[in-house]
Amino acid sequence: MDYEKKPPENDLQASEGFFYLLGRSCIWGGTPVSTEQFRRKLTAILSADVKGYGLLMGDDEVATIRTLTVYRDVMSNLIQRYQGRVVDSPGDNLLAEFTSVVNAVQCAVEIQGELKTRNDALPENRRMAFRIGINMGDVIDEDNRIYGEGINIAARLETLAEAGGICISGTVYDSIKRALDLKFEFLGEQNVKNIVEPIRVYRVFKTGNVEYSKVYTGKNAGTKKLKWAAVAVVVILVLGAGAAILWNLYFSPKSNRAAVSLKESAVLPLPEKPSIAVLPFNNLSGDPGQEYFSDGITENIITSLSKIPQLFVIARNSTFTYKGKPVRVQQVGRELGVQHVLEGSVQKSGNRIRISAQLIDAKSGYHLWAERYDQEMKDIFAIQDEVTQKIISALTIKFAEGAQKQLAYKNTDNVEAYDYFLRGMEYHNRFTKEANTLARQMFNKAIELDPEYVMAYSKLGWTYLRIG
The string of DSSP codes covering 415-463 is: HHHHHHHHHHHHHHTT-SHHHHHHHHHHHHHHHHH-TT-HHHHHHHHHH
CA dihedral sign of residues 152, 468, 454, 292: negative
- The DSSP secondary-structure symbol of 33 reads P
Does the pLDDT of residue 411 top 90, yes or no? Answer: no
Answer whether residue 248 shows pLDDT above 80. Answer: no
Contact 156, 192 (CB under 8 A): yes
Residue 306's pLDDT is 81
Helices (H), 161-206: 170-176
Q: Are 6 and 434 in contact (CB under 8 A)?
A: no
* pLDDT above 90 coverage of the chain, percent: 30
Does 426 have pLDDT greater than 60?
yes
Residues 149, 18: Cα–Cα separation, whole Å: 8
Beta-bridge partners for 188: none
Percentages (nearest 5) of helix, strand, coil residues in the chain: 50, 20, 30
* 215 pLDDT above the threshold of 70: no
Residue type, 9: E
pLDDT tens-digit readout, 42-101 = 999 999 999 988 888 888 888 888 889 889 888 998 998 898 999 888 888 999 999 999
Question: In a 3-state reduction of DSSP, which class is residue 293?
Answer: helix
**Rounded mean pLDDT of the chain?**
77
**What is the percent of the chain where pLDDT is above 70?**
74
- Whether 213 shows a pLDDT value over 60: the answer reads no
Highest mean pLDDT among 2-6, 111-115, 347-351: 111-115
173 with 209: CB under 8 angstroms? no
**What's the CA gap between 63 and 55, in Å, rounded?**
12
Contact 167, 202 (CB under 8 A): yes
For the chain, domains (ranges, CATH) are 38-206 (3.30.70.1230), 218-264 (no CATH), 275-410 (3.40.50.10610)
- Mean pLDDT, residues 241-250 taken together: 41
Q: What is the mean pLDDT of residues 325-351?
A: 88
- Which of 120-129, 236-245, 305-314 comes out lowest in average pLDDT? 236-245
∠ at Cα 151 (319, 97), nearest 5°?
Answer: 75
pLDDT at 28 over 60: no
